[in-house]
Amino acid sequence: MASTRVTCQACGLVLNDSPPDQLSNRPPCPRCGSTQRVFEIQVEEKIVATDHVRIAVSGSVGSYLTVPVDRLHKIQQILNRHGHEYWTDATSFSINNQPPVAIINLPPGSDVLAIERLIEQEP
Ligand SMILES: [Zn+2]
């Protein structure tokens, strides 16, 4: 069993909000107007804390990186510097009160291994 709680990433207000795949018609936060969200997911199974970058490869729709929110800006700079295409979701996920992670989407055909290596080389 998993339960989720949605909060505003900007101000922390708890919201009854749409699921993460309904980004386009998401209303702004009533307190601060942000559409950035954190989905806090509580699960009973033990989940290993992730403090590093994960890459998931999912064929036709491209791949995505799961990165700690506090490293997102740095990783975007790396991708920009090397000319990689990507886009980020305005939603972060926090699992079992771990620090929230953000999603960086990569288009189909991205060289995910090269990108992973680039990111891991950075301090
Ligand atoms: Zn807010």
- Which of 18, 51, 53, 63 lies closest to 37, judged by CA? 18
* Three-class secondary structure of residue 76 per DSSP: helix
Q: What is the average pLDDT across 90-106?
A: 83
Summarised one tens digit per residue, pLDDT across range 60-81 is 566 888 888 888 999 999 999 9
Output the pTM of the full model. Answer: 0.60
Output the CA–CA distances (angstroms, integers) from residue 32 to 14, 21, 69, in the order listed. Answer: 12, 22, 20
How far does the centroid of ligand 1 lie from the alpha carbon of residue 77, in Å? 26
pLDDT of residue 66: 83
Percent share of the chain, pLDDT over 90:
16
How far does the centroid of ligand 1 lie from the alpha carbon of residue 31, in Å? 5
pLDDT of residue 78: 93
